[in-house]
Chain A
Amino acid sequence: MSMNALKKKIAVVGVGTTEYGNFPDQSDYSLAAQAFKNALDDCGLEKNQIDGMVCCRIPYYVRMGSILGINPKWTVQLPPHGRMSGMSIIEAMMALECGAATHVALLYANIGRSRRVNYGGDENLGFWDPWGMTSPGAAHALMFRLHMERFGTTTRQLAEVSVAFRKNAMLNPSAVMKKPISIDEHEEARRIVEPLGLLDYCLINDGAVCIILTTADRAKDLKKPPVLISGVGSQEAFTDSSISNFSQNFWFDELQSVSKEVFEMAEVQHSDVDLFLPYDNFSPTVLFSLEGMGFCAQGESGSYVENGTLAYDGRLPTNTDGGHLSNSYMQGWGLNVEAVRQIRGECGARQISNCRVAQYVSATPCCRSIIYTRD
């Protein structure tokens, strides 16, 4: 048996999000509770039907369950890392398939903006601190410099990622950043860790997401047409992680392995992917994801993204909600919600026509991809 046995067995039936912004008077629990209510409304389930719970970036699962007044049979708490969104969904699929739970609510909340989280310095002690090396952004700056050296990729090509996602966000009423940006503005933006500047970094904002999964047979009776999980792929890269969040080959080999798994399981081709949803903590990750998933050859992502490829009206519509760079820093959770809303046709001005196949991918030390389909 392989994960292929789960093909189209599990469905997303409910998604709920909060507003995105700066909410100093809200706790992560209160934001997660709002997202939970919205997800229940979305699918028509009662809260007492939720018998599985995943908490991510929420401090304490018992308090969360207590606040929501639910007693699941199956609970998982995962650390507040962005890579955990795809991992959580795959864990929940397995719990549903084996009957550990019948309806799983996955909860994520982030209050990093209002609590001024920096993602570097003394928040996480590291061996390389004495040399001033800290933060995931710096690791991505080092990787992008290496990509420039190895393949001749330019910062103007990298700008295409941020510019396209901003163009997408301008059509998303919930997006935090809606002011248009140009390639020149990307080049002139304040440098953070060169070769990356402000517009290569994800937003830090507060908000929460809830996703409700159940089995495909149970999903038929719910409020909206189910969105099926047709393929998943997984591969860790722990032995190449002596520098946090850094891979000397851009996680290419691991992503290739994930790509093979996810496309074979879903039985779709690259040309079938209507919507691509790469985890965009920093703009270079999008290039690494395109190469690793095989949308272009390694080293060719710079030219691949030129001329607006990734915009909602481009050759490969990508992060149509604006992603982490312009919509909201929901650490992959928001991208998985966008997959569901686009396939359902709920995306208003940014809706892509006849979206049937959406692919999420995270290029991180835990590489994951999920392919969602309408049928």
Chain B
Amino acid sequence: MTGSEYNKPLPFNDPLTRPYWDHAKTHQLAIQICNECTDKHFPPSPVCPKCLSEKQSWTVVSGNGFLLTWGRFHRAYWDGFKSSLPYDVCVVRLEEGPLVVSNFLGTTPVGLFTGMPLRAVFEDVTTDISLVRFVKY
């Protein structure tokens, strides 16, 4: 699929989150880590929310996590999602701690429950953007 055909929202240009999207393009899930206190957090912050250090890096995580909660959209807030209705959104707690919002890849697994083990996979939605999705572990 080319960028001109993909009509769902794309990441907005933000230097703070660019490393995340660069990692995603190589199918790696990355979160921010503080060089001083090693706190891991996501989405990224200009300073460490624990110790306020500006010295921060990105670390690639395992991609393993647990389903916290989920919801099924029956309304499209963007025209690009109309053809996908209904679609599911999930909140995953990574084993490293932070929460990420994502979708299931393909068909939603049956028997969802809070705590269900999941693992990250990537889908190339445009030539530049890859989105993390989750599948049953």
Name the A residues within 8 Å of B12 (CB-CB): 125, 129
Which of B10, B73, B74, B78 has its CB near the most chain A CB atoms (within 10 A)? Answer: B73
Contact among A134, A194, A243 with B91 in the assembled complex (CB-CB below 8 Å):
A243
Name the B residues within 8 Å of A269 (CB-CB): none
| B15 sits at the interface (CB 8 A) | no
Name the B residues within 8 Å of A145 (CB-CB): 69-71
Q: How many angstroms between the C-alpha atoms of A346 and B9 in the bound complex?
A: 49
Contact B74 A133 (CB under 8 A): no
Name the B residues within 8 Å of A190 (CB-CB): 74
Name the B residues within 8 Å of A128 (CB-CB): 101
| A184 sits at the interface (CB 8 A) | no
Name the B residues within 8 Å of A118 (CB-CB): 77
Name the A residues within 8 Å of B129 (CB-CB): 130
Interface of B is mostly: loop
Chain B count of residues within 8 A CB distance of the other chain: 36
B88-137 interface (Cβ within 8 A of A) = 89, 91, 98-99, 101-103, 113-114, 125, 129, 131
Closest-by-CB residue of A relative to B87 is: A132
Contact among A131, A150, A192 with B89 in the assembled complex (CB-CB below 8 Å):
A131
Contact B77 A134 (CB under 8 A): yes
Proximity string of chain A (327-364) to chain B, C-beta cutoff 8 Å, 1 when within and 0 when not: 00000000000000000000000000000000000000
Name the B residues within 8 Å of A146 (CB-CB): 68-69, 114
Contact A242 B43 (CB under 8 A): yes
Q: How many angstroms between the C-alpha atoms of A153 and B42 in the bound complex?
A: 30
Contact B101 A193 (CB under 8 A): no
Q: How many angstroms between the C-alpha atoms of A190 and B131 in the bound complex?
A: 30
| A48 sits at the interface (CB 8 A) | no
Q: A130-B10, A142-B89, A239-B49 are in contact. Are A149 and B114 (CB under 8 A)?
A: yes
| B17 sits at the interface (CB 8 A) | yes
Closest-by-CB residue of A relative to B113 is: A149
Name the A residues within 8 Å of B114 (CB-CB): 146, 149-150
Name the B residues within 8 Å of A133 (CB-CB): 89, 101
Q: How many angstroms between the C-alpha atoms of A303 and B17 in the bound complex?
A: 44
| A120 sits at the interface (CB 8 A) | yes
Proximity string of chain B (21-32) to chain A, C-beta cutoff 8 Å, 1 when within and 0 when not: 000000000000
Q: A130-B10, A243-B91 are in contact. Are A142 and B70 (CB under 8 A)?
A: yes
Interface residue ranges, A against B (CB under 8 Å): 118, 120-122, 125, 127-135, 138, 141-143, 145-146, 149-150, 190-196, 239, 242-243, 246, 248
